[in-house]
Amino acid sequence: MKALLRIAHLIDYLNERVGHSVYWLILVTVLISTGNAISRKLFNVSSNAFLEIQWYLFSAVFLLAAGYTLKQNEHVRVDVISGRFSKRTQAWLDIFGGLFFLLPMSLIILYYSWPFFTHSLLSQEWSGNPGGLILWPAKALIPAGFLLLLLQGIAEIIKRIGFLLGIEPPEPPSHPPLSEFMDASQKEGEA
């Protein structure tokens, strides 16, 4: 179990690093979008590449940060009923959901998205828009994102089992942005 928990914490670290890296792309996307609009108006200079890179980058953010978001427990839940259960029952439900919801979903989408990506890579497929971008990097984001999500799903299951065995703290309460900001002082050092 100790070894498993070590793996789980390694995955935590991995997704934490990935999440903290890809969030910069939000800023990049905002700046590209603004810059494209201004240069198009002022200098009549633009390209479909500038339009396409925006959804490439945003896709990188939301797909690659999915595991990180799970780790932070910020994928929204309907907690009207489960919110009343004990921490132990919630841990059991999380293990159940991880095993029967998250893992199968991630595996199935990984299975189908891999050839989707490799076909694009091997055929060097480009965007059909004039001046557009090559497509495989965008298509690669799907298997990459779901792999990170799958790994985090495994880590969460291990950690919940660890909690039931009494050797791991319970799942962190989700940190919705507001509470994060309310006690910003203690989080200042993060990232």
Residues 84-123 that bind another protein (CB under 8 A): 85, 90, 93-94, 96-98, 100-102, 104-105, 108-109, 112-113, 115-117, 119, 123
111 CB contacts (<8 Å, ≥6 apart)?
none
Number of shown-chain residues binding another protein (CB under 8 A) = 96
**Quick one: which of 17, 88, 167, 183 contacts another protein (CB under 8 A)?**
183
CA–CA dist 79, 95 (Å, integer): 16
Question: Residue 9 or 175: which CB sits closer to another protein?
Answer: 175
CA–CA dist 162, 92 (Å, integer): 11
SS3 97: helix
35-94 binders of another protein (CB under 8 A): 36-38, 40-41, 44-48, 51-52, 54-55, 58-59, 61-63, 65-66, 68-70, 72, 74-83, 85, 90, 93-94
Q: How far is the CB of 122 from another protein (least distance, A)?
A: 11
Q: Which residues pair with 126 in a beta bridge?
A: 134
- Judged by CB under 8 A, does residue 155 bind another protein? no
- Judged by CB under 8 A, does residue 1 bind another protein? no
60 close to 25: Cβ distance less than 8 angstroms: yes
* Backbone phi and psi for residue 134, each to the nearest 5 degrees, phi listed first: -75, 145
- For residue 67, give the H/E element and its range: helix 66-71
Question: Residue 2 or 188: which CB sits closer to another protein?
Answer: 188
Q: How far is the CB of 168 from another protein (least distance, A)?
A: 19
Per DSSP, the chain holds a count of helices (H) and strands (E) of 9, 0
CA–CA dist 173, 17 (Å, integer): 20
Question: Residue 6 or 183: which CB sits closer to another protein?
Answer: 183
Question: Residue 166 or 190: which CB sits closer to another protein?
Answer: 190
CA–CA dist 79, 152 (Å, integer): 21
Q: How far is the CB of 142 from another protein (least distance, A)?
A: 5
